[in-house]
Structure 1
């Protein structure tokens, strides 16, 4: 079992980068403010040194994550429990552990599920956040038929459609900026020839964390006084750059729907709001 402990800054710069990327009319969180739900994915970036990178852009397997011999890595989901708020500009202690590595076979062939658990605490030992992340490794698909990689800039990605729903638009620039804000070098998000010809996707892949963060942002847009106690997220299918998508907030269940209304990502939240817990 791999275990790593680090001291890290809740960095204001990538927080400002994500606020600029979302461009949704909400004020950008400032130093001293509490981090919105899931923004720790941005506020605690980990930049790997160049010599550690593998062919897919991620750090080569066998450093922290296990040496899984399957090329496709996907962020499948997880769960976060919030305790003491994380504040921008604070220094925290991160403890990360590879909890399990499980091999399975399904209709799409062999896959490996890696579970990573993380605890974030204040310097004086108060637990802020506990998280489980599920990573899935699969074999590559057949090379995809090349499609034009030209996109019209979408501008702000959030557009309110009706009560409780927003259109969510992506373009290559948005994906590149999110990769930069989160220190994510995975080539499927910005390298179109690699994504289509090597990993067999039909286009650039929208980041799983970006889809989950977009859903969490609808809480700030729709229910600004809500306080999140626990949040679980699941990526059911990939969304590709430029595909139309809809964010739908229905009570405690939030969904990102792709073309044809097919579910791509779901978020379930347990809220404290004005002293009341919403299941």
Structure 2
């Protein structure tokens, strides 16, 4: 396998402006429109610093071609695996923002489903000149597979909750329109979220995949809706099993004095995403 260690330490700086438009679009998606926040809601920084590339610069999967900032890993299947975030200072609406990115790790791992590369990128996000968020973002690249990935042949990687207590358990229906709207907000051309023929026939999934960042946002958004007096200090999440457009799922939280365990649980009890949140406040 090719060694991509030369990419470790590579840096990129991008600038943007935290205008209200994508925030309002996401509020409409969450059925929370016209809230007019003064501060950028948690994880909404993902709506900025988006790669704006011409159509001819896109790969077959709809993503920008690799080899500019991210290493040109030949594996065709790429997804968010998880991340770790520290929230240091708020970002105001209509503020100049900057993101300094650095590749921390490129690791080749072997799993039961084949070889995988994990790339970890650290983002330092500034509001004007004040450091607001430190984020480590994990991206996984997988080999191509013609085998349709079902729950049965993915069983070894699934995590199931057994009689776990929860403080709340909420539902948020996600359909193909939801997936399209979230892709539009994030200018995400990845075909696994809207092109059923590509998702099933090329990448071997049984349906369209719900975006990992959308699931993470639902986890943190629901926590904040249920705990309006608490201020999030950190958030860590890991995708452990895909959610497809035909899956029903619950957004769950088990909240303690200064931290909480959050997870996405499918209707069959299988966990799709695990997360932890720390916070201050009553």
The structural deviation recorded for 1:37 is 1.5
2:235 is matched with which residue?
231
- State the superposition RMSD in angstroms: 1.7
2:191 is matched with which residue?
187
1:63 is matched with which residue?
68
The within-5 A match list for 1:69-148 is 69-123=74-128, 125-142=129-146, 144=148
CA distance in 2, matches of 1:225, 1:141: 47
SS where residue 46 of structure 1 aligns?
Answer: coil
SS where residue 268 of structure 2 aligns?
Answer: helix
SS where residue 73 of structure 1 aligns?
Answer: strand
The structural deviation recorded for 1:63 is 1.2
Q: Could you list the per-position Cα deviations for residues 157-211 of structure 1 after superposition, in whole angstroms to 9, with x for gaps in the alignment?
A: xxxxx96111121111100000010111111000100000000000000000000
CA distance in 2, matches of 1:44, 1:90: 13
CA distance in 2, matches of 1:65, 1:179: 20
Indicate if the aligned counterparts of 1:12 and 1:43 stay in contact, CA closer than 8 A. Answer: no
The structural deviation recorded for 1:143 is 5.0
The structural deviation recorded for 1:87 is 1.2
The within-5 A match list for 1:19-34 is 19-23=27-31, 25=32, 28-30=35-37, 33-34=38-39
Indicate if the aligned counterparts of 2:14 and 2:49 stay in contact, CA closer than 8 A. Answer: no
SS where residue 252 of structure 2 aligns?
Answer: strand
TM-score normalised by length of structure 1? 0.86
The within-5 A match list for 1:209-224 is 209-224=213-228
2:46 is matched with which residue?
41
CA change 1:44–1:10 in 2 (3 A) is: farther
Task: List alignment gaps of at least 5 residues for structure 1.
Answer: 146-161, 275-279
The structural deviation recorded for 1:224 is 1.1
* Structure 1 range deviating more: 44-53 or 247-256: 44-53
Instruction: Count the aligned residue pairs.
Output: 254
The within-5 A match list for 1:123-272 is 123=128, 125-142=129-146, 144=148, 164-251=168-255, 252-272=260-280
SS where residue 14 of structure 1 aligns?
Answer: helix
CA change 1:26–1:268 in 2 (3 A) is: farther
Q: Could you list the per-position Cα deviations for residues 206-246 of structure 1 after superposition, in whole angstroms to 9, with x for gaps in the alignment?
A: 00000000011112220112101111011111000021101
2:156 is matched with which residue?
none
Indicate if the aligned counterparts of 2:16 and 2:48 stay in contact, CA closer than 8 A. Answer: no
CA distance in 2, matches of 1:175, 1:234: 20
Indicate if the aligned counterparts of 1:26 and 1:221 stay in contact, CA closer than 8 A. Answer: no
1:11 is matched with which residue?
19
The structural deviation recorded for 1:128 is 0.5
CA change 1:143–1:197 in 2 (3 A) is: farther
TM-score normalised by length of structure 2? 0.86
